[in-house]
Structure 1
Amino acid sequence: MRTILILAITAMTTLAHAQQIEPTVGVTGEGKVIVVPDEVTISLGVQTQGKDAAAVKSENDKAVDKVLDFLLKKNIPQNQVQTEYVSLNKNYDYNTKVYNYNASQTISVKLKDLSKYDEIMSGLVASGINSINGVNFGSSKMDTYEAEARKKAVANAKVKAQEYAGVLGQKIGKALQIAEQGTNTPQPQPMYKMAMSESMDSSQRTLAPGEMTISSKIQITFQLID
């Protein structure tokens, strides 16, 4: 008798649970916004080599000071210039059997006016910059574009859910769950180091910003309605 009662209770619980399960459809929507960058961050370096550590460091500091002074004269705000890396290393040259010292400083400069890129780069090289580590493009309206990409992702998810439900002869109801899977802005990273000429022609155009694709993915679960 007890066994029959337990089975009956279990069956009723299972039936009640099944009745509570709501039919849903889960989809992932993707939204993309293609924009033209209007700002760039440049990673620049000053490298100095010599046999005396103090002299090498002093020479490197003077070159960096000249670079910072140039940027100040060009009205580049201080919050757009940042020291990223400073080093002084002792290296042994097995060919000459002599120790050398290498001093290096890396600076990032953010330009919000791309038309000034070539002029600024020409002046930086003349000031003492002797390596370029890379450029990173961006947009001053990134928040706006990311929001637009998210809205497109939601709309895309809704269309997908409607298509799936339509094939089954059903409709979708309200959204029950929304989970953002992230917003991404992939772009090529042109990384290069070079011994730069002291006579760069500032009239030449050497920057091609191209386009950036800002994408967003959002997972949404909708009700299914008969």
Structure 2
Amino acid sequence: MKKTIGAISIFLSTMCLAKDAPTISVVGNGTISAKPDTLSIIATVETINLNSEKAISENTAIINNAIKLLKKEGLKDKNIKTENYSLNYRSDYNNKDNDMKYYVRNQIVITSEDLENTSKILTALNSGGVNNIGEVNFYVADRKELEDKAYVLAYEDAKSKAQLIAGIDKFTITPKDINLSFSAPRPVGYMLSANSKMGDAPIPVTVPNNVDVTASMNVTFYMEK
């Protein structure tokens, strides 16, 4: 799923052009590839019990055990945090009697620059009793330079398309409006659910060689003879 990071509108005016000058609008795209240097994982622990204290204590035990195993694999406190804790009392729709139960959810959020340790991190979470290990996201932490280069490529692409079309009738082009957007493709990841428990067996993970940073823009050009 692509996520739009930001949108900026830049308006360029050319006073010497007539207001009724014809225009042409084109879309340009630019992509830069780079080796990922950071991974992130969001792992969810959910416990269910008729007794709220038991549901809470079970959840806490799994969280603490998982964190203990993660630290054995070299992760530090700065690499691990818990968030989105919730306690709900609702019907158990998986039970034909719809019994009311307590649901406790907590998440372990992991970030690390040690991509080679990804398999061990996943194995530690799995061995620790985590119910659901979501996507492992591999990305470039500091993407500013990559985004700038992608924007340049996107503009050059748009300009090249406009020049090609305008040149058919011997027009030259001057930029009028530029609308920018930056997009990142769906991260390459690994999914592990509670139904795919593997015990202490290592979980194989392939770290991508490159991830893409993509920018696109819609550019409107004046056309003049």
Q: Is contact 1:48–1:104 with CA below 8 Å preserved after alignment?
A: yes
Once the two structures are TM-superposed, the CA of residue 145 in structure 1 deviates from its matched residue by 1.9
CA RMSD of aligned residues (A): 3.1
What TM-score results when the alignment is normalised by the length of structure 1? 0.73
Question: In 2, are the aligned partners of 1:46 and 1:131 still within 8 Å (CA)?
Answer: yes
Task: Give the whole-Å Cα distance in 2 for the aligned partners of 1:124 and 1:191.
Answer: 12
| 1:22-66 deviation line (CA, Å, top 9, x unaligned) | 344332211122344332211212233444321221121122123
Kindly provide the CA deviation profile for residues 117-144 of structure 1, in whole angstroms up to 9, marking residues without a partner as x. Answer: 1112222333332321333332124222
CA distance in 1, matches of 2:51, 2:120: 34
User: 3-state DSSP class of the match of 2:21?
Assistant: coil
Which position in structure 1 is the counterpart of 2:160? 159
- Structure 2 stretches of 5 or more lacking a match? 1-16
Greater relative CO (CA pairs within 8 A, separation 6+) = 2
- Indicate conservation of the 8 Å contact 1:63/1:127, yes or no: yes
Relative distance call for 1:225 and 1:117 in structure 2 (3 A) is same
2:194 is matched with 194
1:187 and 1:213 in contact (8 A); partners too: no
CA 1:53 to 1:19, structure 2 compared with 1: closer, same or farther past 3 Å?
closer
Give 1 or 2: higher helix fraction.
1
Deviations 1:82-130 (A, max 9, x none): 3343233444575578655443322221222210111122223333323
Partner of 2:38: 39
Whichever residue aligns with residue 160 of structure 1, its letter is K
Secondary structure of 2:194 counterpart: coil
Range that drifts further, 204-213 or 55-64:
204-213
Determine the structure 2 residue equivalent to 1:205: 204
Instruction: Provide closer, same or farther for how the CA distance between residues 19 and 60 of structure 1 changes in structure 2, counting only shifts above 3 A.
Output: closer
Q: Does 1:177 align with 2:144?
A: no
- C-alpha contact 1:85 1:107 (8 A) present in aligned 2: no
Deviation at 1:219, TM superposition (A): 2.4
Moved more, 154-163 or 95-104: 95-104
Q: Percent identity?
A: 24
How many aligned positions are there? 205
Preserved contact between residue 185 and residue 215 of structure 1 (Cα < 8 Å): yes
Q: Which runs of 4+ in 1 moved over 6 A?
A: none
Distance 1:208 1:101 in 2: 38
CA contact under 8 A between 1:42 and 1:135: conserved in structure 2? yes
Conserved 8 A contact 2:35-2:210: yes
